[in-house]
Structure 1
Amino acid sequence: MSFVIDVPVSGVLPAFAQPGDAGADLTATEAVTLAPGQRAVVGTGVRLALPEGTVGFVMPRSGLAAKHGITLVNAPGTIDSGYRGEIKVILLNTDAAETYAIAAGDRIAQLVVMQLAPVNFIQTEQLSASQRGEGGFGSTGYASDQEAHHGTV
């Protein structure tokens, strides 16, 4: 299934780098320098009209994160189908020592568009049982080779 998404010509059109990619690259409209630990809201110039029943998620680019420590503060950022404003990205430099410069036109994030399943929330007194139950935050354990690193036996 594919969608046609209207994008006014005000920024660089989101683009997929490779066939089959899930995320379309979003680019910066301005130059920004991020000192260690600093965050900035960076415009993309992209406004769009997502079809009803879809949502856009703004995700970090793995290369920026792995090579430079640049990530998104609120990953993923949610773009509702009714939103018509500019997509802006809240970037954070997690590197403890290095400043990172972003130039206008640099790819800074990626947009993933997904179809939504209709959901109705119904209040109940009790949830059905599951094997996992209320376990969370590491409750499923660690691989045996990781246990030694975490000090557990």
Structure 2
Amino acid sequence: MSHVKVEIKVLPGNEDIGIPKKMTDLASGFDLCAAVKEPVTLAPGGRALIPAGFALAMPENLEAQVRPRSGLAYKKGITTLNSPGTIDADYRGEIGVILINHGEESFTVERGDRVAQIVFQWVPHIQLTEVRTLTETTRGEGGFGHTGV
């Protein structure tokens, strides 16, 4: 299996956070840690942009997706608001995680807490071609709930 090179730059003042890490050998995602300067408390229903302390440079046919951590979502009701959050190959700014508290209690994010994960995906080059009609399928225009609840 070939490896894909993704450059990562730890931003000044975040050397203690380091780079994302996989928690198991076969994990798909790299855990993202909070690079907050001070603790951030999310009240129930509250949201905040949590910095991750690094920036990326990816090949043009790659994207990074910021996704929730399942344990944090299940146990505390903490998830990412725009999930997955897309990081485009040409973005060079600090990676951030929009967290939201769907739980019933306040949740405090401390520096170094694992708050989300980042997964890398290939992005094909797509050429959209405008047409007057589309090929027909059995499903047709059947949309939301068309096969039942």
- Letter aligned with residue 116 of structure 1: V
Quick check: 48-57 or 129-138, which moved more?
129-138
Query: How far apart are the structure 2 equivalents of 1:132 and 1:105?
Result: 48
Query: How far apart are the structure 2 equivalents of 1:132 and 1:23?
Result: 34
Q: Given the two structures, how large is their TM-score scaled by the length of structure 1? A: 0.87
Equivalent position to 1:13, from 16, 19, 36:
19
- Letter aligned with residue 45 of structure 2: G
Equivalent position to 2:145, from 132, 138, 148:
138
- Structure 1, residues 46-77: CA drift from partner, whole Å, max 9, x if none? 20101111011111111111111111111111
Equivalent position to 1:44, from 40, 52, 58:
52
Residue 101 (structure 1) shift: 1.1
Tell me the number of residue pairs that the alignment of Structure 1 and Structure 2 aligns: 141
1:87 and 2:108 aligned: no
Q: 2:113 corresponds to which residue?
A: 106
- Letter aligned with residue 35 of structure 1: A
Q: Given the two structures, how large is their TM-score scaled by the length of structure 2? A: 0.90
Indicate the SS of the match to 1:64. Answer: helix
Please identify which structure carries the higher helix content.
Answer: 1
| Unaligned segments of structure 1, at least 5 residues | 143-153
- Letter aligned with residue 130 of structure 1: T
Query: How far apart are the structure 2 equivalents of 1:40 and 1:137?
Result: 31
- Structure 1, residues 22-50: CA drift from partner, whole Å, max 9, x if none? 11111101121100000001100120101
- Letter aligned with residue 33 of structure 2: T
| RMSD of aligned Cα (Å) | 1.2
**Structure with the greater alpha carbon radius of gyration:** 1
Please identify which structure carries the higher strand content.
Answer: 2
Which consecutive aligned stretches of 4+ in structure 1 deviate over 2 angstroms post-superposition?
Answer: 9-12
Query: How far apart are the structure 2 equivalents of 1:26 and 1:131?
Result: 43
Residue 131 (structure 1) shift: 2.3
Equivalent position to 2:28, from 15, 22, 32:
22
Q: Percent identity among equivalent residues?
A: 44
